[in-house]
Amino acid sequence: MKKQSDFVHPYIPNSVPAVKARMMKEIGIKSIEELYEDIPEPLRLGRELNLPNALGSECELKRHVEGILAKNRACNEMISFLGGGCWGHYVPAVCDEINQRSEFLTAYAGEPYEDHGRFQTLFEYESLMAELLEVDVVNVPTFDWCQAASTSLRMAERITGRGEVLVIDTIGPDRLWAVKNYCLPNVKVTLVRHCPDTGRMDLDDLKAKLSPEVAGVYFENPSFLGFIEDQGQVISRMAHANGTLSIVGVDPISLGVMIPPSRYGADIVCGDIQPLGIHMNYGGALAGFIGTRDEEKFVMEFPSRLFGITKTCVEGEYGFGDVAYDRTSFGVREKGKEFVGTAAALWGITAAVYLSLMGSKGMRDLGQHVLQKAQYAMKKLSAVKGVKAPRFAAAHFKEFVVDFNDTGKSVAQINKMLLDRGIFGGKDLSGDFAELGQSALYCVTETHTQQDIDQLVRVLCECL
C-alpha cells in the first residue's frame, strides 16, 4: 500500500505533493492537520476507514463493476410483462444523446444567464406537458408520482383549508403508503371503495364520505390495476358541489388517445414522466409532475420550482427565472410551501426531448398501438384454460389484471415457470390485493411484438 503522502489520484489534481506543499506554504501551515483545528480529538476517527482496496485504475474498476452487473438479467434479455409503476416503453436514441451531454448532466444551479439553456429547456418541458395535460401550469419535476400525489393532496389541504382527503382504494400500494406518510398527522387519509366488478369508484361510498372536511378526492387514470375510470366527470362534479378539489393521477403516455383529466373536471393532475423517454433503471429513474390552472391560489401553493418566461433588457430576447420564489422553502424555510430541493430535473429535460420528437401524431400512434396490443394480449390470454383477462369489466390502456384463480396454480408458481422460459410474468398481486386471489398485473407496450404475446400464451398453455 502506498503511503498517504504519495497518493495522487486522477480525480484529485492538488494531491501532487509539490502543489500541496506550495498551497500549504501560502496558507502558512506545516500540516493539513492544522486545518482541522476545530475537530476535537475524541471525535477523530484516528484510524483508516475499513474499506476494500481501491481500484484506482479505470481498467480494474470497470472490470469489477461490470463483473457484478453481469449477474443481472435485464428485460432486454427476456420478454417482460412487468409494469406497476415503472414501464418499459421505447426510448428514442435522441433522448439519451441529450441527457448524457456533459452540459446538462453536470450543470446544477447556475443563474439564468450561464444556465439559460437549463431554464429554457425546463420551461419547454413545463410547456409541452401543459399541452398534453391541457393545463396552464406544470412544475419543474419533483421526485416521483408518490411525491407528486402527496403534494397535490397537501396543496388541496391548503387551498381549501380542510383536513381530510379521499383516496381511491385501488391506488398503487406503495403510493398509498407514501401519501399517508406525507399527509399524517396533519391530514386524514380515507379510502373510497371501488366496485368489485368494474373497478370504478363506488359513487355511493364517495357520496357518504364527502363531508365538509374533505379537501380533495384522488383517483387514477388508468388505475394502478389498469382499468380506466370513466366516471371522472361525475366524480369531479360531486367533489365540486362539496367545495372539494378533484385530483387525478394520470399516465401521461396515455394522453395521445385518452382525454386529459382537466377535461373531466380535475383541478390538480399528477403522475410520473418515466414513460416519456426514460429507461426503467430498476425503478430508480422516476420523476413526478403536477399541473393546475393558472390561478394565483393554485400557483402559490406549489412547493416546486416554477420556471417562467420573461424578457431581458435587450428587445426581443427571451429570459427566464423563478416564478413566485418566495413561496418556496428556499425563500422562507419552514414558512414556505412544504419543501424544495434537488429533485429530478434531468428527467424533465428528457421528457421534453421525448414529447418534441413524438409530436401529437406520435403520441396518438403510440397510444393506439398500446391499446391494440393490450387488447390483443387480453383476448389471447383469455383463451387459455382457467385464465381470465381482464379481471375487471372495463376498458384498459396498457395494463390489466390477469386472473389465474381457476388454474389451480399460484402466480408465484406460474411466474417461476415463465422465468425458466425467458419470460417475466406480470406482477403478483396476491399480497397487496388479496381479494383478487391469484392474479397478476400485466403490462403491454409498443415494445412488445405479436410474437412476444403469442410466446407468452404458448408457454402458459404448455404449463397450465
Partner 1 sequence: MEPTARYKLRENFHQAKWDEPIIFELHTPGERGVLVPEAEPEVVATVGDGLSALPDNMIRKQPPALPEISQMRVLKHYLRLSQQCLGADLNIDIGQGTCTVKYNPKINKMLSASAKVTELHPWQDPSTTQGAMEIMYRLDSFLQEISGMSRFSLQPSSGSAAILIMAYIVEAYHRSRGEADQRDEIITTIFSHPSDAAAAAVKGYKVITLYPAKNGLVKVEALKAAVSNRTAALFITNPEDTGIFNPQIREFTDIIHKAGGLCGYDQANTNGILGITRAREAGFDMCFFNLHKTFSAPHGCGGPASGAVGVVDNLIDFLPVPIVGFDGKEYFLDYDLPQTIGKTRGFYGVFPAIIRAYAWIMSLGAAGLKETAQIAVLNNNYLLENIRKIRGAASPYSAGKHRIEQVRYSWEQLTEDTGVTTEDVTRRMADFGFHLWSSHHPFVVPQPFTIEPTESYSKDELDEYLAGLRKVVQEAYDNPEKVKNAPYNSVVHKIDHSTLDDPEKWAITWRAYLKKHRKSDRQD
Phi (first) and psi of residue 284, to 5 degrees? -105, 20
Determine, following the binding rule CB under 8 A, whether residue 162 of this chain makes contact with partner 1. Answer: no
Q: Find the part of the chain contacting partner 1 (CB under 8 A) among 80-88, 188-196, 205-213, 243-251.
A: 80-88
Near partner 1 by CB under 8 A: residue from 161, 241, 317, 462: 317
Determine, following the binding rule CB under 8 A, whether residue 124 of this chain makes contact with partner 1. Answer: yes
Q: Find the part of the chain contacting partner 1 (CB under 8 A) among 129-137, 156-164, 209-217, 239-247.
A: 129-137
- DSSP class of residue 386 equals T
Near partner 1 by CB under 8 A: residue from 79, 280, 351, 459: 280
CB 327 within 8 A of CB 337: yes
Select 415 or 438, whichever has its Cβ closest to partner 1: 415
Select 62 or 207, whichever has its Cβ closest to partner 1: 62
**Smallest separation (angstroms) from partner 1 to the CB of 166:** 20
Phi (first) and psi of residue 68, to 5 degrees? -70, -45
Select 23 or 208, whichever has its Cβ closest to partner 1: 23
Select 23 or 461, whichever has its Cβ closest to partner 1: 23
Select 101 or 209, whichever has its Cβ closest to partner 1: 101
Q: Find the part of the chain contacting partner 1 (CB under 8 A) among 22-30, 188-196, 205-213, 236-244.
A: 22-30
**Smallest separation (angstroms) from partner 1 to the CB of 49:** 4
Near partner 1 by CB under 8 A: residue from 9, 161, 212, 434: 9
Determine, following the binding rule CB under 8 A, whether residue 127 of this chain makes contact with partner 1. Answer: yes
- Candidates 380, 382, 403, 347; CA nearest to 450 is 380
Residue 1, all three cell numbers: 500500500
Exposed e or buried b per residue across 21-53, where buried means at least 16 C-beta atoms within 10 angstroms of its C-beta: eeeeeeeeeeeeeeeeeeeeeeeeeeeeeeeee
Would you give the end-to-end CA distance of the chain in angstroms?
59
Near partner 1 by CB under 8 A: residue from 199, 216, 260, 271: 260
Select 247 or 370, whichever has its Cβ closest to partner 1: 370
Q: Find the part of the chain contacting partner 1 (CB under 8 A) among 126-134, 157-165, 190-198, 203-211.
A: 126-134
Question: Looking only at Cα atoms, what is the longest distance across the chain?
Answer: 83
Residue with cell 509539490: 18
Determine, following the binding rule CB under 8 A, whether residue 399 of this chain makes contact with partner 1. Answer: no
Phi (first) and psi of residue 411, to 5 degrees? -60, -40
Determine, following the binding rule CB under 8 A, whether residue 157 of this chain makes contact with partner 1. Answer: no
Q: What part of residues 320-379 is at the interface with partner 1 (CB under 8 A)? A: 320-326, 329-334, 336, 338-347, 349, 352-353, 355-366, 368-373, 375-376, 379
CB 206 within 8 A of CB 195: no
Q: 423 CB contacts (<8 Å, ≥6 apart)?
A: 78, 79, 80, 81, 455, 456, 459
Near partner 1 by CB under 8 A: residue from 161, 186, 212, 435: 186
Determine, following the binding rule CB under 8 A, whether residue 259 of this chain makes contact with partner 1. Answer: yes
Determine, following the binding rule CB under 8 A, whether residue 311 of this chain makes contact with partner 1. Answer: yes
Q: How many residues comprise the chain?
A: 464
Q: What part of residues 40-79 is at the interface with partner 1 (CB under 8 A)? A: 40, 42-45, 48-56, 58, 61-62, 64-66, 68-78
Q: What part of residues 413-452 is at the interface with partner 1 (CB under 8 A)? A: 415-416, 419, 424, 427, 446, 449-450
Near partner 1 by CB under 8 A: residue from 130, 155, 225, 248: 130
Determine, following the binding rule CB under 8 A, whether residue 14 of this chain makes contact with partner 1. Answer: yes
Which contacts (CB < 8 Å, 24+ apart) does range 370-375 have? 370/253, 370/254, 370/397, 370/398, 370/444, 370/445, 370/446, 371/257, 371/397, 371/398, 373/398, 373/444, 373/445, 373/446, 373/448, 373/450, 373/453, 374/398, 374/399, 374/400, 374/444
Near partner 1 by CB under 8 A: residue from 30, 161, 313, 434: 313
How far CA 76 is from CA of 279, 297, 436, in Å, comes to: 11, 46, 30
> How many angstroms separate the CA atoms of 169 and 167, rounded?
6
Q: Find the part of the chain contacting partner 1 (CB under 8 A) among 160-168, 202-210, 294-302, 455-463.
A: 294-302
CB 138 within 8 A of CB 268: no
DSSP SS3 for 189: strand
